[in-house]
Amino acid sequence: MTNADYARLVRLDRINERRKQIAEYYLDNTVTIVKLAEAFNVSERTVYRDLNALKHIDDDLYVRVKRKRSKNNPFSLSYSKYHNSKAI
């Protein structure tokens, strides 16, 4: 494994950890996507992407987030501003 490969894996681990932290924070608190973005110092689009990417990382967490999103706002399953993405 080269140094570049190792660095890529470390970066991916950090991103996946952030994704899980965002999801847990969302599930434990009553917050909007805007507040999540502010709390984690990322864009709203990154929050949507991170929450959507959970289905490849932690399916149980993904289902719990999706369930909460649909319960809070049944019309928010897609984010019209980013309609090409499969945001939850």
pLDDT tens digits, one per residue of 32-62? 899 999 999 999 999 999 999 999 999 999 9
Q: Angle of helix 44-57 relative to helix 59-72, nearest 10 degrees?
A: 130
Mean pLDDT across the stretch 5-13?
93
Residue that wins the pLDDT comparison between 74 and 22: 22
Contacts 24+ apart (CB under 8 A), 36-39: none
Q: What CA–CA distance (Å, rounded) separates 47 from 1?
A: 31
pLDDT recorded at residue 71: 79
Contact 86, 47 (CB under 8 A): no
pLDDT recorded at residue 69: 87
Q: What CA–CA distance (Å, rounded) separates 23 from 25?
A: 5
pLDDT recorded at residue 47: 95
pLDDT recorded at residue 73: 67
Amino acid at 54: L
